[in-house]
Amino acid sequence: EVQLVESGGGQVKPGGSLRLSCAVSGFTFSSYSMNWIRQAPGKGLEWVASMSISGSFIYHADSVKGRFTISRDNSKSLLYLQMNSLKAEDTAVYYCGRGRYSGTTSDFWGQGTLVTVSS
């Protein structure tokens, strides 16, 4: 069974940092691109970042570029999102998603981890 489990969320002050993790099981992590998507409370979905299988191709949304960094450890089947210089508008549930169909979408999602940026 495919499973993705995010962790590392919590409350942090503006300007602070957090690192999110996504642990996967039930599939060969090193064979799939991966994505981070977020959802602010009561709002829609927003793509955050994507990473190719080997890590050769990395993309970040303009809203997080220079502050967030996606990375992966294929030996541990872990996906990460390092979030620095956090702002109130980064408050959201953060989901990791498995890339599929040539990376054009996510076919499985985790249950999400909540990040709250507040003083």
Partner 1 sequence: EIVLTQSPGTLSLSPGDRATLSCRASQSVTSNNLAWHQQKPGQAPRLLIYGTSNRATGIPDRFSGSGDGTDFTLTISRLEPEDFAVYYCQQYGSSPMYSFGQGTKLEIK
**Residues of the shown chain interacting with partner 1 in the complex, contacts defined by CB under 8 A:** 35, 37, 44-47, 50, 59, 61-62, 95, 100-101, 103-112
Q: Do 92 and 48 form a contact (C-beta atoms < 8 A)? A: no
Please, what is the minimum distance in Å from the beta carbon of residue 119 to partner 1?
A: 27
Nearer to partner 1, 44 or 66 (CB): 44
Instruction: Give CA–CA dist 78/74, Å, rounded.
Output: 7
As measured in angstroms, the least distance from the Cβ of 59 to partner 1 is: 5
C-alpha gyration radius of the chain: 13
- In this complex, which beta carbon is closest to partner 1, that of residue 46 or of residue 74? 46
Cβ 61 to partner 1 shortest distance, Å: 6
Question: Minimal distance in Å, beta carbon 50 to partner 1?
Answer: 6
- Is 67 or 100 the residue whose CB approaches partner 1 more closely? 100
Coil, helix or strand for 29? helix
Nearest Cα residue to 106 out of 46, 41, 33, 23: 33
Tell me the C-alpha distance between 21 and 112, whole Å. 10
